[in-house]
Structures are given as C-alpha cells and as structure tokens.
Structure 1
C-alpha cells in the first residue's frame, strides 16, 4: 500500500471543466475521445458505451481514461449515429448545457467532469494504466464530489476555485481507491508503482516534457538515461508498456490540444512548437489521433462549451 501512497502523492491534478447537460436528441458518438479523463454521471435516461453497448444505469457513473476512444450512446430510442467530428460541429442539435438538473424534467440528462491527473507533471496516470472505460457504481463519495464541483463552478461564492481544486484532488484519490477496493486493474497499478520509482525513467519523462519541440530521438534519450541507444527503446517499453516515440507523439499532441485551447497561435506555430517542422504532416497526425482536424479542435472550444 505504501507504493500506492507514493504514486498518489506524485499525481498532479488539474480541473478542466464540469457541466450539466440535457439531451435534446438521442445520439451515438462512434469514436468519443478526449485527452483528459472524463467522469459522466447519468441523471436520467439511458447511457451505453463500448462495442458491447454496456448500460450505465441512472445514478451510476462512467469513467473514461484520457486518450481512450470509445463509442457512447446518449439517450434512449432512435439515436442518430455521429462521428466525433460531426457531433462537435452540430452539438447544439443534440445537447444543451443547463445550470441545474431538474429531476422532475421529462428530458434525459447527465453531468460530467474532465480533469488531468499526471504523475511528476508528465505522465497521464490513468492513460498509463492502459485501462478501458468502466462503470463506477455504489460510490456516493465520487458522485457527491462531482455534484459539489458542479455547484461550485455555477456559483459566485468567494474561494470557489480553491474548493473546486480540493474536491477534484479528492475525487482522483477516490477513483484510485475505487480501483483498489474493487480489485480492478491492480496488476497495472502494481507495475506503475515499480516504474514510477526508477530515477532514469523519471529523468526521461522530465526531459521529454521540457523539450517537446526539439530532438527527442532514441539517441538523445539514451544520453539522458545513461543507457545505450540500442537499449533505451527496450528499457522504456519494458517499464511503461509503450515505446518512447509513441509516448512522445502523445505528449506532443496533448500539448498541441492545450495550445489550441488556450492560445491564438496559428496551426503552423503550434505544430512547430511541439516538434513538427512540416505543418501538413502535423495536421495529418493530429487528425489521425483525435479524429478531427486541428482547426476544428479549436472551433470545438470556441463553440458552446459542453
């Protein structure tokens, strides 16, 4: 258990957003994807996910790790099938943001929160477990924390940002506890507890984060870890389950998403900043990873933010 405590202490949490959503038109998003972690709580109606259309019941929550693509159906009856791209461009036809969820309303609805959870401010913790989306049920602490965050974000009270931060930190710990108590993905957690203590790997993580726009070849990483160039790829994959260049591309694309959301830099400037000299290649890789062009990702954030 001490190893798990060390992992939890090393996780930095950042709140992204929390919303209450009313479903106007039932719809299926074939390839829902986000770089952040998402918890959806079904208030009323139907919610299904995954290739097997697993059902989330009213009051239950669906946890989707950052970087995991999954089909999701919101609402009952005849759902319109959409790509992630189609949904983003026409979301006002399918959902509506509301300040509060009225349990007596005839409309189906859900609430959600998105957040980052990074080990050493570099590694997406839940993505590193390589776990699929899963249902959280019979966990009043997590559901209450989600409700508390929603209330605070919709309030004008002093200190609301501080309260939200505390609640989201608490929520992440409760999700990890839920995984441990229910013996879910424990092997992956145990593996992480081992490699998150390796100082050479930590040095590689830190170097990649600080040099996303530069040369991150295996030769460079080998020098950082003080291992041979032939061995560094094997070493990295042995400890993390992913080869270093795939990890680097994910980190670059994650930073690109953040820049698209928070800056007015051009697509060309963003691509260069995250290590892609060829803008066309950057755009191709971005669309391949997220299912939508970089420009539309920016438009997604400028539209109704639900």
Structure 2
C-alpha cells in the first residue's frame, strides 16, 4: 500500500471540463477518443459501452481512461450509429448542454461528466499507463456527489471557484484509485506501475520527453539521458512500460497538440512544429489516424454548444 500512496502523492491532477448533458436522441458513437480521462455519472436514461460487461444504473459511473478508443451508446431506444467525426461535427444535434444547477439529475435522458488529467511526476498519464479498459463504478455515492459538486461549482462565478474544482477533482481521482484497489482490479498493471515509477532512469526519460517535446527524441538521445546503450534503451523502456519509446513519444506529442488546439489560436502548421513535426502534412495524417478526426475539427469542438 505504501507504493500506491507514493504514486498518489506524486500525481498531478488537472481539471479539464465539466458538463451536464441532455441526450436529444439515442446514438452510438464509434471509436470515441479523448486524451483526458472521463468520469460519467448517469442521471436518467441509459449508457452502454462496447466490450464492458455489466449494466450501469442511475447513479452509477462510467470511467473512460484517456487515450482509449471506445464505442459508446447514449440514450434509450434504437440508437443511430455515427462516427466520431460526425459526432464532433454535428454534436449539437445529439447533445444539449444544461447550465442550471437545479436541473442536475432532473432532466430526462441526462448525465454529468468531468474530464481531467492525472500525471505521475507531471509526466506520465497514470491511468493510460495502466493500459486498462473503460469500466463501471457501482454504487459509489461519494464519487457521484463529488462529480455533482464539481458540476455545480463550474456553473457558478463564486470566488475560489477554480480552487474548489481543483480540490474536488483531486478527491475524485483518489476515489477512483481507491475503488480499483478495494475491488482488486487491474492487479498486475498496478504492480508493474508501482515498480517502474520508482526507477530513476525511467523518470529521467519521462521528464526529458516532456521538456523537449519539439526536439530530438531519438533512441540515441534517450539512451544518453538514461545512461544506457542506444541498442538497449528501447528494450529497457518497453520492459518497464509495456510500450516502445517512440510510440509513447508520439502519444505525448499528440496530447500536447490537442492541448494547443484547445487553448491557443496558433495555426495547425505552428502547432505541428511546436510538438516536433516539421512536415505539416505528415502531422495532420498522424493526428487523424490517432484521433479519427482532422486537427481542425478537434479545435472546432471547443466552439460548439457543449464546449466552453
């Protein structure tokens, strides 16, 4: 348990967004993808996720780790299948944002959600690194209340709003980890993570990648950082993390690209260069391959009805 306490202490949690959504019509979104982790609490109606056993009841919660593509069905009745790209382009036809605190839990066919980052040593996405699938969290009134509190706080303009949201988001993340531990879920993945998060050479690599996302991140350079041979560094990284370093680097670059698309007005070309892609066309191809939509449409999502 001490190892898990150290991991939790090292977690940097960053709130992303909160939404209270009314489902306008039943839909199935194929290959929904987000870099942030999502907690979704069902208030009315129904939510299903392909490949996840069990049924979510009103008040239960769905957790979707960042970086995991998922096919999700929202609403009751025959669902219209749509691609993630169509959803991002026309989602105001399927979802309606509710912005009044008193409406939470009352509107028919509705759910609340929060999205957040949770990074170990401010470098590694904790839940993504576990390589775990989406899962249901049953009968956890504490977590459901935390999500509702964050939703209510996000609707206000009270002094200290951001601080309260930050504190409660951290509480929500800890409650998810406690739920996993209490129910002995993903035991092998947790044991692996608790081991490699203690390896100082690996942490040096993670930190270097984060601080040099636009620079030389070849295996040769990573080998210099970790003080191991170039031939061994890929094997070393994959042995501890389960993925090869260049795949990890591309994910980190794309995650930062999404962040810049959401928070800046920089051109696609400039963003590609800022995350290490000199060829804009190649960056755009890789972006669409990873997220299923063009970079420009990822930016547009923030200006639609349920964006802020």
Question: Per-residue CA shift, 1:72-122, capped at 9, x if unaligned?
Answer: 0000112111111101111111110002435554x2111100000001111
Q: CA deviation at 1:51?
A: 3.5
Cα distance in 1 for partners of 2:79, 2:225 equals: 51
What residue is the counterpart of 2:212 in the other structure?
211
Note if contact 2:24-2:96 (Cα within 8 Å) is conserved in structure 1: yes
What residue is the counterpart of 1:4 in the other structure?
4
**TM-score normalised by structure 1 residue count:** 0.97
Q: Counterparts of 1:222-301 in structure 2 under 5 Å?
A: 222-301=223-302
What residue is the counterpart of 1:92 in the other structure?
92
Q: Classify the secondary structure of the residue corresponding to 2:43.
A: strand
Note if contact 1:30-1:82 (Cα within 8 Å) is conserved in structure 2: yes
Q: Classify the secondary structure of the residue corresponding to 1:254.
A: helix
Q: Classify the secondary structure of the residue corresponding to 1:164.
A: helix
Question: Per-residue CA shift, 1:152-184, capped at 9, x if unaligned?
Answer: 111222111111111001111110000000000
Question: Per-residue CA shift, 1:197-253, capped at 9, x if unaligned?
Answer: 111001000100111111111000000000000000000000001100000000000
**TM-score normalised by structure 2 residue count:** 0.97
Q: CA deviation at 1:55?
A: 3.0
Q: Classify the secondary structure of the residue corresponding to 1:56.
A: coil
Structure 1 portions without partners, runs of 5+: none
Note if contact 1:15-1:114 (Cα within 8 Å) is conserved in structure 2: yes
Q: Classify the secondary structure of the residue corresponding to 1:31.
A: strand
Q: Counterparts of 1:129-140 in structure 2 under 5 Å?
A: 129-140=130-141
1:55 and 2:55 correspond:
yes
Q: Counterparts of 1:8-27 in structure 2 under 5 Å?
A: 8-27=8-27
Aligned length: 305
What residue is the counterpart of 2:194 in the other structure?
193
Cα distance in 1 for partners of 2:105, 2:301 equals: 29
Cα distance in 1 for partners of 2:51, 2:120 equals: 30
Decide whether aligned partners of structure 1 residues 104 and 177 sit closer, same or farther in structure 2, where only a CA change above 3 A counts: closer
What residue is the counterpart of 2:114 in the other structure?
113
Cα distance in 1 for partners of 2:166, 2:205 equals: 28
What residue is the counterpart of 1:157 in the other structure?
158
Note if contact 1:46-1:55 (Cα within 8 Å) is conserved in structure 2: no
1:68 and 2:68 correspond:
yes
Q: Classify the secondary structure of the residue corresponding to 1:44.
A: coil
Q: Classify the secondary structure of the residue corresponding to 1:4.
A: helix
Structure 2 portions without partners, runs of 5+: none
Note if contact 2:96-2:306 (Cα within 8 Å) is conserved in structure 1: no
Note if contact 2:19-2:114 (Cα within 8 Å) is conserved in structure 1: yes
Decide whether aligned partners of structure 1 residues 247 and 104 sit closer, same or farther in structure 2, where only a CA change above 3 A counts: closer
Cα distance in 2 for partners of 1:91, 1:129 equals: 30
Q: Classify the secondary structure of the residue corresponding to 1:282.
A: helix
